[in-house]
A and B are shown apart, each in its own frame.
Chain A
Amino acid sequence: MAILEVRDLHVYYGMIHALKGVSFHIKQGEIVTLIGANGAGKSTTLRAISGLTPKSQGEIVFKGKSLDKIPAHKIVELGLNQVPEGRRVFPQLSVEDNLALGAYLRKDTEEIRKDLKQVYDLFPRLWERKKQQSGSLSGGEQQMLAMGRGLMGRPELLLLDEPSMGLAPLLVREIFNVIKEINEQGTTILLVEQNANLSLDISSRAYVFETGKVALQGDARELAADPRIQEAYLGV
């Protein structure tokens, strides 16, 4: 069953028609990637799903429930968390406090503690620096923190907006391994990426965006082998 279904989504930024009828779905337990060039509408799609950007037309259904009139902060409550593009950690707060804020909506202290331990297991580097101001972390560590913070909300569906942006190749590899691990632990993941190579490698399915529309879709492996994709995104 589809955990998230997006049908005929249209978004305007003023006069600019950014999304022109995007439809896709994600099944429980999958990793689905949206790939595409800059300005193709990937991030806009994520923002529309989280309720951060208003849509003009179309429908978004999460766990069988329409997200139409639900404000952004209530959508998080339903179990849909977004890790925004560009990390956006709270720079003057410590790593610990950032993670605690990730569990802001939760009251189950015992479970929060368990999740905190799990995040530290996933990212041992955060444990080492838990008292440090997060603004003083490196870019890679901040990305880990942003993802850890997203996980602290214990989402059923995690939206990751360009987690590899601006990171060294070795770190990118590490981040993708963690994404796979998070998925294996039961979280469904919607990934937006420029790094088509690696993201297709860990995804089950993918959608290729082109100027506000879905141009191609299908099995990630097949797409990776598709000559059109290879030419446009994989640089083969």
Chain B
Amino acid sequence: MNRMNEPRKLDGKWNIVVLLLVVVVYGVIQLLAAKEILLPYHLQVMGLICINIMLVVSLNLINGFTGQFSLGHASFLAIGAYLSAALTVFLGMNFYLALIISGLASGFVGILIGLPALRLRGDYLAIATLGFGEIIRVVILNIPAVGGPRGFTGIPRYTTFGLTYILAVVTVLGIKNFVNSAHGRACVSIREDEIAAGSLGINIIYYKVAAFAIGAMVAGVAGALFSHYMQYISPGTNQIGFLRSIDILIMVVLGGLGSLTGSVVSAILLTLLPELLRGFAQYRMIVYSIILIVMMLFMPSGLLGGFELSFEFLENLIGKFKIRKRGVSDGTS
């Protein structure tokens, strides 16, 4: 957000650093997996973390950056999960093709829903998206071919940790670039003040729907990854219904509305938490609720609300560190 006119001089250097970091982390994880320090269970949890990162970051684009309060994000996950599973199971379609198709289909439904729903604001929009989510869930519940209430079983396991990792990285970087572009600024200005944004010539409906569709598309892909990872998807409210939507929303709010770094951190924490608390998993929602209440009281803008781990921040940090070091060696500090 902070550089509009001057191009970043250091971008090239830092892009390479990020790329290296992404590759190194992936390499280390694969190495640990090969040495059997990381068991398949660990890899699976990490895969779920990556899927959740995609869901949280995409909802943050809608809720956090564009300011449109959506409570139906899980329905896009549902569309992706069921559509891709149907394509690979019934048609024997190539998984990657199914992944792309389910993403596009979700995005398309996002546009269809967004056009009428995004004329609403605040609470009204939240209720409308909640209703839409339930419609999707009930429709799926009543299609016997995809298992109805029993759930869709026998989905081949095509998703690997590597794939979720790559797609999570692509999602985070893609949405970061979008947010920092002129389009992203238009979205943020809508969140800040719709009337003022309109008076500057920003096409409000267009950007609301665009953010909604991009978010829906990413959630659709995440859903496809999810169903081909767990090999099973059921139409329970905590799987594809409003409880799941609220799960994702909690991660967004806990991380900080409008902070991608926060989204990633909270997706990691809140995916790990129930795994660590496996013994009393049924209290998970209570723990969630308590965390949320405490958070809202003491950190109303989330763990990292507004903060973004940026190169500028790192540069400043390194700069400060260097100065302090020099100061120490000069004996002047």
Task: Judge: A and B partners, yes or no.
Answer: yes
B306 neighbours in A (Cβ, 8 Å): 92
CB pair B193 A90 closer than 8 Å: yes
CB pair B201 A76 closer than 8 Å: yes
State in angstroms the CA–CA spacing of A153 and B197 once bound together: 12
State in angstroms the CA–CA spacing of A75 and B199 once bound together: 9
CB pair B185 A94 closer than 8 Å: no
CB pair B185 A92 closer than 8 Å: no
CB pair A73 B2 closer than 8 Å: no
Residue B195 contacts which of A74, A88, A104 (CB distance < 8 angstroms)?
A88
CB pair A90 B195 closer than 8 Å: no
Mark interface residues in B238-251 (1 if CB within 8 Å of A CB, else 0).
Answer: 00000000000000
Mark interface residues in A134-174 (1 if CB within 8 Å of B CB, else 0).
Answer: 00000000000010011001000000000000000000000
CB pair B5 A94 closer than 8 Å: no
**B203 is an interface residue with CB less than 8 A from chain A:** yes
**A187 is an interface residue with CB less than 8 A from chain B:** no
**B267 is an interface residue with CB less than 8 A from chain A:** no
Residue ID in chain A nearest B185 by CB atoms: A101
B185 neighbours in A (Cβ, 8 Å): 97, 100-101, 104
B200 neighbours in A (Cβ, 8 Å): 76, 81, 101-102, 104-105, 149, 153
CB pair A90 B189 closer than 8 Å: yes
Chain B contact patch, size range = 20 to 34
Residue ID in chain A nearest B182 by CB atoms: A104
- Given A92-B306, A93-B192, do A153 and B201 touch, yes or no (CB 8 Å)? yes
CB pair A52 B186 closer than 8 Å: no
A76 neighbours in B (Cβ, 8 Å): 199-201
CB pair B5 A113 closer than 8 Å: yes
**B1 is an interface residue with CB less than 8 A from chain A:** yes
**B196 is an interface residue with CB less than 8 A from chain A:** yes
User: Smallest CB–CB gap between B61 and chain A, Å?
Assistant: 16
Mark interface residues in A47-91 (1 if CB within 8 Å of B CB, else 0).
Answer: 000101000000000000000000111111100011110001111
**B40 is an interface residue with CB less than 8 A from chain A:** no
Residue ID in chain A nearest B204 by CB atoms: A73
**A112 is an interface residue with CB less than 8 A from chain B:** yes
Mark interface residues in A99-141 (1 if CB within 8 Å of B CB, else 0).
Answer: 0111011000100110010000000000000010000000000
- Given A50-B199, A100-B5, A113-B5, do A88 and B186 touch, yes or no (CB 8 Å)? no
User: Smallest CB–CB gap between A51 and chain B, Å?
Assistant: 9
**A193 is an interface residue with CB less than 8 A from chain B:** no
CB pair B196 A84 closer than 8 Å: yes
- Given A97-B4, A109-B5, do A90 and B188 touch, yes or no (CB 8 Å)? yes
State in angstroms the CA–CA spacing of A24 and B315 once bound together: 57
CB pair A90 B196 closer than 8 Å: yes
CB pair B198 A88 closer than 8 Å: no
State in angstroms the CA–CA spacing of A146 and B258 once bound together: 24
State in angstroms the CA–CA spacing of A92 and B197 once bound together: 14
**Further contacts, 19 of them, CB under 8 A, given A131-B2, A149-B196, A153-B200:** A71-B203, A73-B203, A73-B204, A76-B201, A88-B195, A88-B196, A88-B199, A89-B193, A90-B189, A90-B192, A92-B192, A92-B306, A93-B192, A97-B1, A101-B197, A101-B200, A105-B201, A109-B5, A113-B5
Shortest 6 CB-CB contacts between residues of A and residues of B:
A76-B201, A90-B192, A88-B196, A100-B4, A105-B201, A73-B203
Give 27 CB contacts A-B under 8 Å: A52-B199, A71-B203, A73-B202, A75-B201, A76-B200, A84-B196, A88-B193, A88-B195, A88-B199, A90-B192, A90-B196, A93-B188, A94-B1, A97-B4, A100-B5, A100-B185, A104-B182, A104-B186, A104-B200, A104-B201, A104-B202, A105-B200, A109-B5, A112-B5, A116-B5, A131-B2, A150-B199
